[in-house]
C-alpha cells in the first residue's frame, strides 16, 4: 500500500491551481444518464472517486472517451443493465447519485449499499423519501431495489437539506411528468452548478441558489458541454497549509465567492488572505492568533449547511487551531466520527481535549513532531498531511488511497511548492 514520507518544518512558496470540484463532478457524471446525446465535461479531476464513478457508468453501458488529461465525453446511447456493481458502489458514497437518473431513464435500478468515508452515520432516508414521493417503489434488502411506472412531479419537503438528496431529487424531477417543488433544498455551489448544467441541456429549473427549487419536467434532454469549477475545499486546504507552514502561496482560479465563510472562520484563527481577482494570495510568515469573541470569550468554529462553514474543512481548521495562539472550541455538528482523528494530532504534540464526538477544545500554539500516521478518510488524511508538513522531523502517512480519493496528484503539487514529500509505493 502506498504511503507518503514527509520531512516537515519547511516553508513553501509559489503558485498552485486547484483541481476541479469533486462534489460537482460526481453528480454531473451521473446526470449523463439523463440524455442519450453526448456530454463533454472539462476540468475533470483525476482522482479515485471519479475513476470509480466512471467505472460504474461504463458497467451500465455508457460510452466513455478520454478527450484529454482532464476532459471526458460520455454518451448513454443504450443502458445494458440496471444493477450496479457492488464492489465499486462499496468504494464510493456518490454511487447513490445514480438512483435518480436511472429511475428517470430506465424506470428501475438495483443499488448496493454506498460506501465512502467512515465519519459517522450517513443516512439515505432523504433520498428514499424524495424518490418515493416522485413515484419510486423501493424495496430494501441489503441494498435498494427501486422501480417506477413513471415519475410524476410533486411538492416535496426534504427532512434535511441533504446535498446528494437534493441532487438525486433534481435529476429525477427533470424527466418527471409535471412540476416538482423541492423545499428545504441544499444550495451548495455544486448543487447550483448541477442545476445550471441541466438547464443548458434543456431542463427547466428555477430558484437556483435558494432552498426552494421548482423543476418543470421535460420529455428529453439534449447533449452539451460544461467546465467544472475549482474545488473550494481544496482551496481551503491550501490556505490552511500556507498558514501553518508560514508559506507564501498564490492560489489561482480560487473562485473567491465560494470562500466567504471559509475566510471568516479561518480569520478567527488569525489567518489573513487577500483576494486578487479570481485568485487568493496567502502572505507568508503570519502570526496566528485566536481572535476572541466580544468580552474575551472563547470563540467557536462550527460547520453547517451552505452558506455555513463546510464540514469538509473542519479537519483543516483543527490543524490550523493547533498553531494559533489561544483557545478555540471546534464544534462538528454534522458527523459524529469527523473528529476522531485528533488522537493522531495529539500523538504529534497537539494540545486538544476531545469533549465528545462533536466537540474539541484546541489550545495553541503547539510544536508538532513527526510521527507514523494513518489516513482514516479523505479530509482527515489531508489534515494529517498538512500537520506533517508543519511538524519538525519525519512523518510517514499510510492508507493514502483515502487522500487520493479527493486530491489529484497532491504530492506533485506540493513538491512544486518546495515541500519535502515523497510517495513510496508498495
Residues with catalytic function: 117
User: Considering Cα of 317, then 305, then 49, then 27, what sign does the dihedral take?
Assistant: negative
Can you list the positions of beta strands (E) in 76-153? 108-111, 137-140, 144-147
Q: Give bridge partners of residue 421 from the DSSP assignment.
A: 6
Q: How many helices (H) and strands (E) does the chain have?
A: 14, 23
Round to whole Å and give the CA distance between 214 and 194: 14
Cell output for 27: 453528480
Q: What is the DSSP letter of 240?
A: H
**Three cell numbers, residue 91:** 468504494
Q: Are 407 and 21 in contact (CB under 8 A)?
A: no
Q: How far is it, in rounded angstroms, from Cα 159 to Cα 157? A: 6
Helix axes 163-174 and 22-31, enclosed angle (nearest 10): 20
Q: Where are the alpha helices (DSSP H) in 201-313?
A: 232-245, 260-267
CA distance 316 to 350: 14
Query: What is the grid cell recorded at 115?
Result: 460506501
Q: Which of 221, 155, 230 shows the shortest CA–CA distance to 185?
A: 155
Q: How far is CA 403 from CA 387, 409, 423, in A?
A: 14, 10, 12
The Cα–Cα gap between 167 and 31 comes to: 9
Length of the chain: 426
Pairing, β 204-206 against β 248-251: unpaired
Amino acid at each position: 500500500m502506498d504511503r507518503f514520507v514527509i520531512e516537515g518544518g519547511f516553508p513553501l512558496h509559489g503558485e498552485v491551481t486547484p483541481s476541479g470540484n469533486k462534489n460537482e463532478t460526481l453528480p454531473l457524471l451521473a446526470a449523463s444518464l439523463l440524455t442519450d446525446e453526448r456530454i463533454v465535461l472539462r476540468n475533470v479531476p483525476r482522482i479515485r472517486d471519479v475513476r470509480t464513478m466512471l467505472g460504474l457508468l461504463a458497467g451500465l453501458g455508457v460510452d466513455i472517451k478520454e478527450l484529454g488529461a482532464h476532459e471526458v465525453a460520455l454518451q448513454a446511447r443504450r443502458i445494458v443493465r440496471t444493477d450496479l456493481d457492488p464492489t465499486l458502489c462499496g468504494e464510493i458514497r456518490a454511487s447513490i447519485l445514480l438512483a435518480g437518473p436511472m429511475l428517470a431513464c430506465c424506470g428501475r435500478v438495483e443499488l448496493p449499499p454506498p460506501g465512502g468515508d467512515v465519519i459517522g452515520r450517513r443516512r439515505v432516508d432523504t433520498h428514499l423519501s424524495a424518490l418515493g414521493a416522485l413515484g419510486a417503489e423501493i424495496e430494501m434488502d441489503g441494498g435498494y431495489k427501486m422501480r417506477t411506472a413513471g415519475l410524476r412531479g410533486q411538492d416535496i419537503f426534504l427532512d434535511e437539506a441533504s446535498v446528494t438528496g437534493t441532487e438525486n431529487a433534481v435529476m429525477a424531477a427533470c424527466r418527471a411528468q409535471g412540476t416538482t417543488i423541492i423545499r428545504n433544498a441544499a444550495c451548495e455551489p455544486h448543487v447550483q452548478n448541477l442545476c445550471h448544467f441541466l438547464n443548458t441541456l434543456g431542463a427547466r429549473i428555477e430558484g437556483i441558489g435558494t432552498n426552494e427549487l421548482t423543476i418543470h419536467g421535460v420529455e428529453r434532454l439534449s447533449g452539451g458541454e460544461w467546465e467544472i469549477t475549482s474545488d473550494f475545499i481544496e482551496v481551503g486546504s491550501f490556505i490552511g497549509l500556507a498558514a501553518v507552514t508560514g508559506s507564501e502561496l498564490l492560489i489561482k482560479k480560487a473562485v473567491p465567492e465560494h470562500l466567504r465563510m471559509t475566510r471568516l472562520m479561518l480569520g478567527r484563527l488569525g489567518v489573513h488572505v487577500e483576494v486578487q481577482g479570481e485568485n487568493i494570495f496567502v502572505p507568508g510568515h503570519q502570526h496566528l492568533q485566536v481572535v476572541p469573541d466580544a468580552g474575551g470569550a472563547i470563540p467557536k468554529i462550527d460547520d453547517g449547511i451552505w452558506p455555513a462553514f463546510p464540514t469538509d474543512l473542519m479537519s483543516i481548521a483543527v490543524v490550523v487551531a493547533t498553531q494559533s495562539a489561544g483557545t478555540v472550541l471546534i464544534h462538528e455538528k454534522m458527523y459524529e466520527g469527523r473528529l476522531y482523528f485528533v488522537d493522531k494530532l495529539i500523538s504529534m504534540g497537539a494540545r486538544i481535549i476531545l469533549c465528545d464526538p462533536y466537540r474539541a477544545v484546541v489550545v495553541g500554539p503547539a510544536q508538532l513532531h513527526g510521527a507514523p500516521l494513518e489516513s482514516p478518510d479523505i479530509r482527515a488524511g489531508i489534515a494529517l498531511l498538512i500537520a506533517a508538513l508543519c511538524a519538525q522531523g519525519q512523518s510517514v502517512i499510510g492508507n493514502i488511497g483515502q487522500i487520493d480519493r479527493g486530491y489529484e496528484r497532491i504530492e506533485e503539487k506540493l513538491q512544486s511548492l518546495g515541500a519535502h514529500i515523497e510517495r513510496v509505493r508498495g
